[in-house]
Amino acid sequence: MKIAFYYRNKDAERKCREFSEQFDSCEIITGVDNLDNLKNFDAVTVFGGDGTVLEVAPFAAKYDLPVLCVNQGNLGFLSELKDNPSPSDAKAILEQNNISEKMLLSVKIKGEEYLALNEVVLKSDISKPVYISAKINGEFFDEYRADGIIVCTPTGSTAYALSAGGPIISPEVDAFSIIPVCPHSLHSRPLVVPSADGITLSGIRKEDKICAIVDGRFVAEIDGNCTVSVSKSQYKVKFFTDVQNCFFKKLRAKMNRWGVTKD
């Protein structure tokens, strides 16, 4: 199996090079501009935090490459290896060949399609709230006056959406969540919908300038007349997972950085 080792900053470079010395068939790739080279590999190991994984995810999905994450960042919800792992730890998980799949969002804006593992966010490009209309399967659902609105996957439900008051969604649940950010209305609350639904978000006021952000990356500025379509992508991201590291165990460990529950 030919494996790509990917990192994007100096903090992760040392660990990446350390691991590469212990693998016979691997090649180091760095920089967003080189991610298209993943098409020449069978798998990819990512050294970094969740942001680095989000960077790699659309390419891994398109080229059907399973991903192994070695956490070199902060929280590392998407990582299987943490706490100074060794190359043998990585080899053990690769040999298990236990694969899980995570859905992606297809986000269409101004004729362009973007893939998101976590979420798409529409928010004001200034400090004022924006006015956004939401339709589900073409049927009007609500109008939001808020600092922004998030549409997330189950994977993204433990990221920005969680900070905005959204629910944690188990990865086995085939659904999206729609979360208003600091809404100026008591009735505006998070909503969970089946992933088969199509979500359409539109600006209401022409003078509003709205930023579209996909997995933390700014992709477009839209005005009040623009429409953003969100649906389930045909692609999925495959991840190597440790059979002993289930979602709820990982969730408890991550959340307990600020809690008191004991294992």
Cite the active site residues.
Answer: 50
Question: Taking the CB of residue 91, how many other CB atoms lie within 10 A of it?
Answer: 13
Return phi, psi of residue 37, to 5°.
-70, -10
Q: Are 50 and 73 in contact (CB under 8 A)?
A: yes
Q: Are 114 and 243 in contact (CB under 8 A)?
A: no
Instruction: Specify the residue for token string 């997995």.
Output: 215
- Distance, in Å, from the CA atom of 150 to the CA atom of 130, rounded to the nearest integer, reads 13
Tokens of 147: 């600092």
Count how many Cα atoms sit within 13 Å of the Cα of residue 115 in the half-sphere of its side chain.
18
